[in-house]
């Protein structure tokens, strides 16, 4: 379910690989991981909007979407796709709600080890154990740094995730799946490290909808 979800939403995931511009490639992977950890540790909350484009392995457009997002550590996020098909993902760090208004359906599941590799969780979670799950490389060009994360586990939700930072703040991400399908998400951050109400990350199931517990 999570894999299908992030193919549709991703982001995401959250989640678009920016082409590696000619620049300095960090000599040590540990240097790239340390720099990425520093960026993620400095990022406590985010609020803004996103635009998403998914293409297949041949470069054909499959889907375009846009919506709003909020992220807060540890592990909390609200990711709402508004167009063309509404869908809401909400997590309080332990439980994930996926609401599809058109289907009048809410799926509820517990975040597990595998789901912690999703883009939204990577951005909203702790960065100290990234090297346990990913091989990390980085390319730096001026004020921009692009990090490429390759999962070490074979059953990962994606083949590669790229995170694009400008002046230390996340600006885009790209997710590549096993079929070569790429989903790029461009972020417009309106609030950075501002307090967010915890209730944002608790989902109240609407009346008269089907609930699926996984």
List CB contacts of 12: < 8 A, sequence separation 6 or more.
6, 50, 52, 79, 118, 119, 120, 173, 175, 183, 185
* Token couple for 39: 């960026």
Model pLDDT for residues 116-147, shown as the tens digit of each residue: 445 555 666 555 567 777 888 999 999 999 99
Model pLDDT for residues 152-187, shown as the tens digit of each residue: 877 777 788 899 999 999 999 888 988 888 989 999
Rounded to an integer, what distance in angstroms lies between the CA atom of residue 50 and that of residue 5?
Answer: 16
Model pLDDT for residues 49-94, shown as the tens digit of each residue: 999 898 999 989 988 889 999 988 877 889 898 888 899 989 898 8
All domains of the chain in start order, with CATH: 2-213 (2.50.20.10)
Query: Is residue 121 within 8 Å of residue 18, measured between CB atoms?
Result: no
* Token couple for 129: 């154990």
pTM, two decimals, is 0.78
For 176, counting Cβ atoms within 10 Å of its Cβ (0-12 exposed, 13-18 middle, 19+ buried), the class is: buried
């Amino acid at each position: 379910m999570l894999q299908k979800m992030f193919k549709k939403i991703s982001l995401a995931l959250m989640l678009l690989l920016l082409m590696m511009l000619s620049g300095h490639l960090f000599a040590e992977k540990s240097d790239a991981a340390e720099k990425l950890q520093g960026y993620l540790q400095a990022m406590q909350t985010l609020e803004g909007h996103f635009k998403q484009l998914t293409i297949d392995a041949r470069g054909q457009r499959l889907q375009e979407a846009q919506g709003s997002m909020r992220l807060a550590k540890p592990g909390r996020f609200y990711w709402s796709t508004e167009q063309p098909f509404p869908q809401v993902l909400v997590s309080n760090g332990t439980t994930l709600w996926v609401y599809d208004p058109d289907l009048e359906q809410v799926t509820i599941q517990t975040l597990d080890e595998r789901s912690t590799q999703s883009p939204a969780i990577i951005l909203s979670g702790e960065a100290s154990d990234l090297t346990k799950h990913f091989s990390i490389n980085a390319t730096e060009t001026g004020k921009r740094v692009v990090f490429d994360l390759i999962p070490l586990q074979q059953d990962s939700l994606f083949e590669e995730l790229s995170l694009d930072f400008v002046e230390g703040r996340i600006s885009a991400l790209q997710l590549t799946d096993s079929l070569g399908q790429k989903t790029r998400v461009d972020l417009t951050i309106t609030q950075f490290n501002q307090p967010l109400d915890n209730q944002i990350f608790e989902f109240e199931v609407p009346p008269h909808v089907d609930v699926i517990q996984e």
